[in-house]
Structure 1
Amino acid sequence: METSSEKAPEYTDQPPPSYESLFGKIKQAKQNSGGNVAFAQNVVGITTNSFGYIIFLVLVLAIPITCIVIGSSFLHQCPAQRYIPIYLIVFGVFTLIRDVSSLIQTFKARKDGIDENQQQKPNPFDGLLSCFLFAWFICGNVWIYQTYGNFTTSNPAASDYCHHTLFYFSFWLLNVTYIILEKITRAISRNENMQTRKLFRLTALNNLLKCCRSYAQASSGNKQKWSYAHGPSDTPLLGSTIGQALQDWTELRPDKEAAVFCKGNIRKTFQQILEESDQLAAGLLELGIKRGDRVGIWGPNSIEWILTQYATARAGIILVNINPMYIANEMEYVLEQTGCKAIIAAEEFKGHDYYDILFHLIPELARCEDGFIKSHRLPELETVIMIGKKKHQGTLKFSSVLEAGTSKRKAEIMDLQKRLQFDDPINIQFTSGTTGSPKGATLSHHNILNNSYFIGRRLGYHEKETRICIPVPLYHCFGMVIGSLTMASHGATCVFPSPAFDAKNTLEAISKERCTSVYGVPTMFIDMLNHPDLPKYKLSSLYTGIMAGAPCPIETMREVIGIMEMPGVTVCYGTTENSPVTFQNFRDDNIEKKIGTIGKPHPHVEAKVIDEYGNVVPCGTPGELCTRGYTTMLGYWNNPARTADVIKPDRWYHTGDIATMDEDGYCSVVGRITDMIIRGGENVYAFEIEQVIYHHPCVKDVQVVGVPVERLGEEIYAFIEFKEGYTCTEENIKDYCKTRMARFKVPRYVKFVKEFPLTATGKVQKFKLKNEAMRDLNLID
C-alpha cells in the first residue's frame, strides 16, 4: 500500500453506473473512453495564448454569424428553396448561443478562480445542437420527398429529388465536420506549449473517436451472450503484508481510534494496536513459536482476539480461527488437522467452559509445567494461553505472554517485516459446517488483505471517514476479513457492540458511536428491525453496510433501507475458500438487484456458470458457479485430495452453488447442487420454494430440504418458523403454495419449529434439518 508521511492515500475511481437503461450504458461508455471529461474540457475554456485566441474567435464566432447572414439573404432572394436558408439560420443561431454560453461559463470560472482545465461541466447546448442536426436532416429529407411527390426512374422529378437530397446531405455532413474540427481546434488553442500541439491534437481526435465507438457499443446493447464475467478495475491489487499495511496506517494516523469494544468501554488507537500487537508477537517468539507455525484462537469477540490477529500477522505465524461453539471432539479435530503449536482461549462462552473442554482433551495439564505441554492425543500442541484474570493449571495467562516479549524480540518483529512475503499463508479458516465436516481453507496475506480492500472500496470507505459496527463473530471471515481487517486496508474504526450478537447492544452501538456502516446476516437485521426499542435509537449516521451469509427477503431489505436509513446497503456473496467475497452489489443498485442478485464480480475476479460437462452456458441458464482470481485460497490445509476436488488445474474454484448470470454480468444463486431436489425427474430448487413461502403472512422464516423416497426419488420437506403471535395449519401452507407455484414444487411435508439449528454466524445448518426430517419419516434412527 503506497502511503506518504503527510496524508492518507486518495482514490478517485467511482463504482460504475447502473446498466439498467440505455442512458446508463452511454454514461458508462463515456467514462470508459475518457470522452466525457475530454469533451467537457475541450468545450469549456479558452487560452490566454493570443494565436489560439484568434483562431477561437474566427471559428467559434465568425462562422455561425456568417451562416445567419447568408441564410437570411438567401431566404429573401430564393423563397421557393427555403429549406437551405432556414437550415443555415437555425444552425447559426444554435451554434452562436452555444459558443456564447461557453464563453460566459469560462469567464465565470476565471472570475471565481477556477482552473478551466479542470472544469468538467459540459455545455448543455452541445447536446441540443447535435439533436437539431439529426432532426433537421431527417425532416429535411421528408420535406424534399413531399415536395417532389412519388416518383419513378422515368419521372423527371426523380433527378431533382436525388440532386437536392445529395446536396442537402453534403451540407449537413459539412456542418458535422465543422463541429468536430471546432472541438479539435479548441483543444489545440488551449495548449500553450507549441511543441506539444501535435500530440494534443491527436489526443483530442482520439478521444472523439473513442467516444463515438463507445456510443455505438452502448446503443447496440453491448450485451454478453455467455455466462462469463470479470471485474475490470483501474485500481491495482495491494502488494503488501497485513502487518505492513497496519504499520502504514499507524504512521499516517497514529492517534485515530482503531478499535472500540463497547463492553468495558475499551478503546484503542492505531498506535496502541500496533505496539500491543508487536509486544504480543515478541512474547510468542519468546515461547519458541516461529514463522509458519500455527496458533489457534478460540473465543468470542474481544480485544485479545484483535491483538492476536495482528500479532500473528506481524510475526508470520499462521492464525487458526476456531468456532467458539465447538465442543471437545470438534476442537480435537481442528487442532489435529492444523497441528497447532499453541492455542489462545477465552475462559468461557455461552455455557462452554473452555478450560474444562481442553482439560478433557489434554489431561496432562494437571501435572505439566505452565506453558510446556506434552500431550499424547495432540503431540504438536505445546502451549495453552488463557484469556482472563484467573490462573489455570498448566496454562499461561494472556497478560503474561504480552509482557514476556523482550526488546530484542520486538526488534526481530520489526526486522521480520522486510522478509515476510504477501503470498505467505497467514490464516486458516474452517468452513462453516452447514453441509458437513469443516475443512481448513488456507489463505495468504494477499488473499484477505486485498479482499478487505476491494469490499471497502465498493462501500465507499476510501471516500470518507468510516466507523463500522461489527456484531458478527471475529472467528468467521465475515468478522475478521470484511470487519476487523479494514483497520489495515482502509484505516477504518471498528466498533464491536458485544462478545456475541445482541440486537439491543448493536442498535446502541450504532447510535452512540455514530457508526456509518453495519454488518450482519439477514437474521441479525430481522432481529434489530423487530426490536421493540428500535424507534428510540438514532441511526441517521448509517449510509451503508453489508448483508451476507444467506438470501435476504425483500421485505427485510426494504425495511433496512427505509427504517434503518441504509440506502447504500450491499449484498455480498462468497465462500470461505475465496477470502471470502467474490460478488457484491453496488450501493446505487435498485432493490430488485440487491435481493434478486448477488451483484457483479469483484475487481480482478473472473466468474462463469458451467453445465455438468464443464461448458460455459448461455446467459440465464442455471449451472454451477465457478470463480477465479486473487481471492482463491492456497488450498485446504494438509488435504490435497479435497483441494483438487474444488480447485482444478486451471485455478477455477468450483463453488457447488447453482446460479444464473444475466446479460449484464449480474448473478443470482438459486441453490446448492446438494440442495437441488429431484422429484419425479423434475429439478426443484429449495431457495425458489423458500422465497414463495416466506411471503405468507404467518411465516417468519422457512427452510426447505429434500428427503429420499422410493417412488419419486425425493420429496419436499418444509420447516417453518412462525412470526410471534401468528399460527396456521399445514394445509393452509400447502394451499398457499398451490396458487403460486407448479404442483410438483409444493411441499409434501410441513413441520413447524420454534428455531433452526444455526452456526455461530447465524447460518442454518441444513444437513441437521435433513437428518431431522429423515428421522420423522423413520428413514434413519
Structure 2
Amino acid sequence: MRADLEFGSISQLVRASAERHAEREAVVEGRTRLSFAGLGARVADAAAACLADGVRPGDRVAVWAPNTLDWITAALGAVTAGAVLVPLNTRFKGAEAVQVLARTGARTLFVTGTFLGTSYVAALRRAAGEDLRLLPRLRRVVVLGEEAAPEGFRTWKEFLADGAGIPPAAVRERAGSIRPSDPSDILFTSGTTGEPKGAVVSHAQTLRAFGAWSELAGLREGDRYLIVNPFFHTFGYKAGILACLMRGATMVPQPVFDAATVLAHITAERISVLPGPPTLFQSLLDHPARPGHDLSSLRLVVTGAAAVPRTLIDRLRGELGVPEVLTAYGMSEATGVITMCRRDDPPEVAATTSGRALEDTEVTVVDADGRWLPPGEPGEILVRGYQVMSGYFEDPAATAEVLDDEGWLHTGDVGVLDVHGNLTVTDRIKDMLVVGGFNAYPAEIERLLCGHPGVAEAAVVGVPDARLGEVGRAFVVRSAEGAGLTEEQLIAWSRREMANYKVPREIRFVAALPRNAAGKVRKGVLREVAAE
C-alpha cells in the first residue's frame, strides 16, 4: 500500500512504527540504544510539551542542530503537535538563521548549545539581539542536550517537564487531526545558486515519495542505517529518519562526516545501508585505515550528484563488494526525489544515469523555447507529479518563476533522457559555459576528468577569454595514484579524451573542494578564486 494512504500523516507513521517494531532497535547514539516503542514515547512527550507551550496546528517550529537523537525527538514531536517543521542548516551563521526564522515566522526554535566549537545560542543572540527583538514572533527557544540555557530560554529537560500535565489523549487527538494535505515542512534550498527559498511540502507528498524511495532502494526491517547526511536536508530527514520509521530499520546518526568515524561505525554497528554524496564514498575508499576495517556488512549504497564518476561505482562494487549501488536525482522543490535506479538495472545504468522517474511522475527535457527534445538531446529538466511542492513559502513571485500553469516544475538543471527514460543530469543552466559558440557543461567535463586514474574529484567553472568568450578552469583533487600528476599532463590527456571546446584551459590542484553541509560543491567560491 502507498505510504500516504497507509499512514496519512507523519505523526501516524511515528505511532505505527512504535507499535509494529516495538522492541526493535530504532536509534543508536553512543551508549544509548532506543527501541521504536521508546522512541514513540519520547516523541509523544515532546509533542505534549509543544501543546503545553501553545504550539498550534500550522505554527512553524524550527530545529537548528546536528544529527542527534534530540533532533529526531524534537522534530517529530513538533510535527506530531501539528506544527510545520523548518530545519535550519547547521552551517548557517547567526544572521542567516535569523533571516530564515523571520521569513517563516517561526514561533519555536530548538537549538543545539555548542557544535564544532561554536555556540549557536550566542550566535543567535548576537544576530537577533539579546532579547531577540529582531524575531518578535519567536515565542520560545529551547536548548537541546544537557547544556544550561540563558535567561528567557528553556533547557530541553525543562521544556519536556512542562508537558507532563498534558494527557496522552490530547496528544493523540492533535495528531489525529492532521490531514494528509497539511504542510509538513518547509525545506530551504541549499543556496548554492542564489538566496535560499523555502519549499512547502505536505505530509502526503513526503510519505508517498519516500515510501516509493524505500521500496526502490530495498530498505528492509532490520537494516542498520548510518545517517551521515544532515537532518536539515531531505536526504537525511526523509530518506533517513522517515524511511527507517516506515521500514523498521535502525538509525545510527552521525553529526559530522569524518571518514575514520564512518569506517568505525560500519564495523562496530554492522551498518548495511549508507546513502551519501559521492565525496563521502571517495573518502572512504581512499582512507589509509580502510583495510583494517570489516565493511562486509554494507549491502546498499545510494548516491547522487550532477557528476558521479563511473570509477566510483565500479570501486564500490569491486573493492568494497557492495552488491547494490544505486543513483538518484531529486531536489527540495520535488520533495527530494524525482528519478531513481532500479535494483535490477544493469550496472552501467547506475554508473551513467540517475535512473527513471518514479511512478506517476513525468520527466521531460525542453529547449530554450520550451519545445520537448528527443532522447539524447540536452535541455532543461521539467518535472510534473504528486511530489512537486505547492510553492515557495509566502513567495508567489519566486514560485511563478519555477512552476508553470500546467504544473511543470522548471528545475534549472540540464539533462539528457535516453530511449528508456533514464536521466543523466549534466549541469545547472546557470553553470553552462559557451565556449566559442559551443555549449559546454561543467558536470560533463568533470565526469570526463574523473576518468583519469590520477583524479579523485574535479570541479569546473567558467572564466572570461578574449578569443572564445569563456573557457573552463578546473579545480582538481588528486587521487592516491595521481601524486605526481601535472597540469600539462592532465590537459594533454584531456585533449585526447574530449572535444577541444570542453578541454579546461587551466588546471588548479587543490587538497579539497569547498562544499556546503549538503555535500554540494560551492561553485560560487571557486568562481571567486578564479576571478582573483
- The answer to whether residue 12 in structure 2 is matched with residue 244 in structure 1 is yes
Q: Is the 8 A contact 1:515 1:542 kept in 2?
A: yes
Q: Kindly provide the CA deviation profile for residues 633-677 of structure 1, in whole angstroms up to 9, marking residues without a partner as x.
A: 121111111111111121111111111111111111121111110
Q: 1:761 offset after TM fit, Å?
A: 2.2
Find the counterpart in structure 2 of residue 493 from structure 1: 250
Query: Against the structure 1 CA distance between its residues 536 and 730, is the aligned structure 2 distance closer, same or farther, given a 3 Å change threshold?
Result: closer
- 1:268 maps to 34
Q: Deviations over 1:37-64 (max 9, x none)?
A: xxxxxxxxxxxxxxxxxxxxxxxxxxxx
Residue from 731, 736, 741 that aligns with 2:498: 741
Structure 2's unaligned 5+ residue stretches are: none
1:493-512 equivalence runs, <5 A = 493-496=250-253, 498-512=254-268
**Residue 237 of structure 1: how far off its partner (Å):** 5.6
- Pair 479,411 (structure 1): closer, same or farther in 2 beyond 3 Å: same
Quote the residue 1:607 is aligned against.
363
**Counterpart Cα distance in 1 of 2:4 and 2:230:** 30
Paired position in structure 1 for 2:99: 333
Please state if 1:466 is matched with 2:223.
yes
Alpha-carbon displacement from aligned partner over 1:693-749 (angstroms, at most 9, x marks no partner): 223333221100112345433221111222357133332222121111222222223
Runs of 4+ deviating beyond 6 Å: none
Name the aligned partner's letter for residue 314 of structure 1.
T
SS in 1 for 2:524: helix
Higher helix share: 1
- Report the AA paired with residue 315 of structure 2: E
Aligned partner of 2:310 in structure 1 is 554
Aligned to 1:732: 489
1:359-385 C-alpha deviation (Å, 9 max, x unpaired): 2023334xxxxxxxxx32111112111
- 1:373-412 matches, within 5 Å, as 375-394=132-151, 395-412=153-170
1:208-254 deviation digits (Å, cap 9, x = unpaired): xxxxxxxxxxxxxxxxxxxxxxxxxxx98656101112212222221
Cα RMSD over matched residues?
A: 1.9
Contact 1:451 1:481 in 2 (8 A): no
Say whether 1:633 aligns with 2:401.
no
CA distance in 1, matches of 2:359, 2:286: 36
Q: How big is the shift at 1:397?
A: 0.3
Q: Deviations over 1:563-609 (max 9, x none)?
A: 22212121111101111011111123222211211101112211111
Q: Does 1:484 align with 2:244?
A: no
Which of 358, 361, 369 is equivalent to 2:124? 358
Partner of 2:205: 447
Change (3 A) 1:416 1:330: same
SS at match of 2:14: helix
Residue matched to 1:645: 401
Letter in 2 for 1:419: S
Task: Select between 583-592 and 298-307 the one with higher mean Cα deviation.
Answer: 583-592
Counterparts of 2:54 and 2:430, CA distance in 1: 44
Change in 2 beyond 3 A, CA 1:731/1:335: same
Residue 418 of structure 2 corresponds to residue 662 of structure 1: yes
Contact in 1 for aligned 2:90/2:517 (Cα 8 Å): yes
Whole-Å separation in 1 of the counterparts to 2:7 and 2:397: 30
Greater strand percent: which structure? 2
Aligned residues of 2:61 and 2:108 also touching (Cα < 8 A): yes
Give me the TM-score of the superposition, normalised by structure 1.
Answer: 0.66
Q: List per-residue Cα deviations over 1:254-280 (Å, max 9, x = no partner).
A: 11111112xx22211111111111111
Q: CA deviation at 1:458?
A: 0.7
Structure 1 residues 659-668 or 707-716, which shifts more?
707-716
Q: Letter of the 2:444 partner, please give it.
A: E
SS of the residue 1:659 aligns to: strand
Equivalent in the alignment of 2:512: 755
Aligned partner (choices 43, 50, 55) of residue 289 of structure 1: 55
* Equivalent residues of 2:456, 2:479 under 8 A apart: yes
**Fraction of identical pairs, as percent:** 35
Structure 2 residue aligned with 1:570? 326
Amino acid at match of 1:249: S
Q: Which residue of 1 aligns with 2:74?
A: 308
Deviations 1:278-298 (A, max 9, x none): 111111121122111111111
Verify: 1:523 aligned to 2:291, yes or no. no
1:462-519 residue CA offsets vs partner (Å, 9 max, x unmatched): 5x532212121111111101001113322222122x3211222222222222222111
Q: Measured at CA, do residues 461 and 728 of structure 1 come closer, stay the same or move farther in structure 2, by a change above 3 Å?
A: closer
Instruction: Give the 3-state SS of the residue equivalent to 2:470 in structure 1.
Output: strand
SS of the aligned residue for 2:130 comes to helix
Partner residue in 1 for 2:433: 677
In the TM superposition, what is the alpha-carbon distance from 1:320 to its structure 2 partner? Answer: 0.6
- Distance in 2 separating the partners of 1:266 and 1:550: 37
Between Structure 1 and Structure 2, whose CA radius of gyration is higher?
1
